Amino acid sequence: MKKSNVRKIVASISMFAIALCLFSFVGINKWDVPASDAGIKNPVKADAASIAAGKAEYTKTCKMCHGEKGDSKAGAPSNFTSKEFKAQSDGAIYYKINTGFGKMPKYKAKIKADNDRWNLVNYLRTL
Ligand code: HEC
């Protein structure tokens, strides 16, 4: 094989590898919620008992990163008081609590009862 051809092949392989890296980088920086999860209905009524239980769990487990008010002034960049956050479905918020992302831990196994995680969704809605 000619030397220039080898160089071309090496160059194309490198370009391909770089493109692949860029795509996966963009991919892991998005917190995509599958439509099937976003569409899940909240089975727990947002009554006073649920919100109080959510608040207790939040204070114990989430406040250290998200702050008392849940706005972006605490350590985590997310803002539960923003329009963008409130525009999400209960299912989407529930999914994010379950799966985590980056520095946000996953709570599906840590907070065992599904209803406790739905209580958190109900509480976050009040912030
Ligand atoms: C160790 C710090 C930490 C703890 C503890 C934590 N979070 Fe988070 N959370 C984060 C970070 C950081 C993000 C932003 C992740 C990103 O977008 O990169 C986040 C994002 C979120 C989001 C998504 C916000 C949005 O804009 O859609 C929700 C919902 C959430 N957290 C809920 C909770 C709940 C509920 C708890 C407690 C059970 C909790 N978090 C505990 C760090 C934390």
Q: What is the pLDDT of residues 21-38, one digit of tens each?
A: 555 555 455 779 999 999
- pTM summary value: 0.82
Say yes or no: CB of residue 93 within 6 Å of ligand 1. yes
Looking at the domain that runs over 35-124, which CATH code has it been given? 1.10.760.10
Alpha helices in 3-105 (DSSP H): 3-28, 35-38, 48-61, 63-66, 83-86, 90-99
DSSP 79: -
Q: Calculate how far, in angstroms, residue 19's C-alpha sits from the geometric centre of ligand 1.
A: 30
Q: Work out whether the CA dihedral 77, 83, 86, 92 comes out positive or negative.
A: negative
Say yes or no: CB of residue 28 within 6 Å of ligand 1. no
Q: How do residues 85-121 score in pLDDT, each as one tens digit?
A: 999 999 999 999 999 999 999 999 999 999 999 999 9
Q: Calculate how far, in angstroms, residue 99's C-alpha sits from the geometric centre of ligand 1.
A: 10
